């Protein structure tokens, strides 16, 4: 039964909370009233378009217990722990430079430098390269793996020239 007297998950976050790991390595969330939830899972509501906003914590049954509106407002140690946990759950390599694109036929083969090393992937078509705002780009390879360029302005000149063909 829903208790209408409980504050919303966003209000709970504003009042403060802590995160720690139990002996099994699971996250334990403790709210400002001292209530504990063991085994919570954080998830970004908008991981591509707004990765720094709206992170939800769900309990073992999948119910939201807390929602953080803005990660920038969290204390540094709490934010670091949360970002490490989110990084484990999310696999979205950041493209730092484009080394080579063989795009004479579909699928096109891309060789890129990412924050996780050099890799090669295939794109089915130009539709798999999407603009996310004025300077962000998203790539979705043939296996559904997403790659992001957080800021196309930070690419080297060769990489920017390659990107100009797609935008």
Q: Among 89, 119, 153, give the residue marking a domain's end.
A: 89
pLDDT at 58 over 70: yes
Other Cβ atoms less than 10 A from the Cβ of 68: the count is: 25
Q: Is the same domain home to 68 and 114?
A: no
Nearest to 129 by CA among 121, 139, 120, 141: 139
132-141 residue pLDDT tens:
888 999 999 9
Instruction: Give the pairing type, strands 53-58 and 64-70.
Output: antiparallel
Query: Based on the domain organization, do 99 and 130 belong to the same domain?
Result: yes
Per the structure, how many domains does the chain have?
2
Q: Could you tell me the pTM of the whole model?
A: 0.59
Mean pLDDT of 72-87: 90
Q: What is the dihedral of CA 155, 116, 149, 162, to 10 degrees?
A: 50
Q: Which of 89, 104, 122 is the last residue of a domain?
A: 89
Range 36-55 average pLDDT: 89
**Tens-place pLDDT, residues 3-20:** 444 456 566 566 789 999
pLDDT tens, position by position, 102-117 = 977 789 999 999 999 9
Q: Assess if residue 68 is contained within a domain.
A: yes
- Expressed as residue numbers, the domain containing 41 is 9-89
| C-alpha torsion angle, residues 88, 90, 94, 99 (rounded to 10) | 100
Q: What is the pLDDT of residue 10?
A: 60
Instruction: Assess whether 71 and 99 both reside in one domain.
Output: no
How far, CA to CA in Å, does 156 sit from each of 22, 97, 161? 44, 7, 9
User: Does 158 sit behind a cis peptide bond, omega within 30 degrees of 0 on the bond before it?
Assistant: no
Question: 17: which strand partners?
Answer: 31
Is residue 3 domain-resident? Answer: no
Answer yes or no: is 43 within a domain: yes
């Amino acid at each position: 039964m829903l208790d209408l007297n409980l504050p919303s998950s966003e209000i709970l976050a504003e009042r403060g909370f802590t995160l720690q790991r139990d002996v099994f390595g699971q996250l334990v969330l403790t709210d400002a009233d001292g209530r504990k939830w063991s085994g919570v899972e954080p998830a970004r509501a908008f991981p591509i378009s707004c990765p720094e906003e709206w992170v939800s914590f769900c309990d073992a049954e999948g119910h939201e217990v807390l929602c953080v509106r803005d990660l920038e407002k969290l204390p540094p140690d709490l934010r670091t722990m949360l970002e490490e946990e989110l990084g484990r759950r999310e696999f979205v390599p950041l493209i730092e430079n484009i080394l080579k694109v063989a795009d004479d036929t579909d699928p096109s083969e891309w060789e890129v430098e990412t924050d996780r090393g050099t890799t090669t992937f295939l794109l089915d078509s130009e539709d798999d390269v999407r603009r996310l705002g004025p300077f962000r780009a998203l790539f979705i390879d043939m296996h559904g793996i997403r790659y992001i360029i957080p800021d196309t302005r930070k690419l080297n000149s060769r990489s920017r020239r390659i990107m100009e063909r797609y935008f």
